[in-house]
């Protein structure tokens, strides 16, 4: 998929540091959300429709992607 032409404002978590850790950045790219590797800002961008982004973040908050020993039951 090609990169968007616009110059969106990319954001990363406030929990991220600038020590070269593995971080992703996100930006609103109407009508989708762009996700990219913060270490490779000129690299590929994953585009998710807004509703898929909302579902992904909800699942992350619910603990669905936590390691099995630390998983939080959905809805908690």
Q: What is the DSSP string of 2-55?
A: PPPSS----B--TT--SSS---EEEEEETTEEEEEETT-TTS--EEEEHHHHHH
Contact 25, 39 (CB under 8 A): no
pLDDT at position 3, please? Answer: 54
Number of structural domains the chain divides into: 1
Residue 36 lies in a domain: yes
Residue 40 lies in a domain: yes
At residue 71, φ and ψ (nearest 5 deg) are -65, 140
Residue 14 lies in a domain: no
Residue 38 lies in a domain: yes
Q: Report d(CA 29, CA 31) in Å as an integer.
A: 6
Residue 28 lies in a domain: yes
Average pLDDT over all residues of the chain: 83
Q: Who contacts 53 (Cβ-Cβ below 8 Å, separation ≥6)?
A: 26, 32, 33
Residue 60 lies in a domain: yes
Q: Which pTM does this prediction carry?
A: 0.68
Range of the domain at 35: 24-70
pLDDT 10s digits, 25-61? 999 998 899 999 988 999 999 999 999 999 999 999 9
pLDDT at position 73, please? Answer: 63
Read off the pLDDT band of 76 (50, 70, 90).
low
């Amino acid at each position: 998929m090609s990169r968007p032409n616009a110059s969106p404002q990319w954001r990363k978590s406030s929990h991220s540091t600038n020590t070269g850790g593995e971080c992703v950045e996100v930006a609103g790219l109407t009508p989708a959300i762009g996700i990219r590797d913060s270490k490779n800002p000129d690299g590929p961008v994953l585009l998710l429709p807004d509703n898929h982004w909302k579902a992904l973040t909800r699942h992350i908050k619910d603990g669905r992607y936590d390691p099995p020993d630390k998983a939080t039951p959905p809805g908690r």
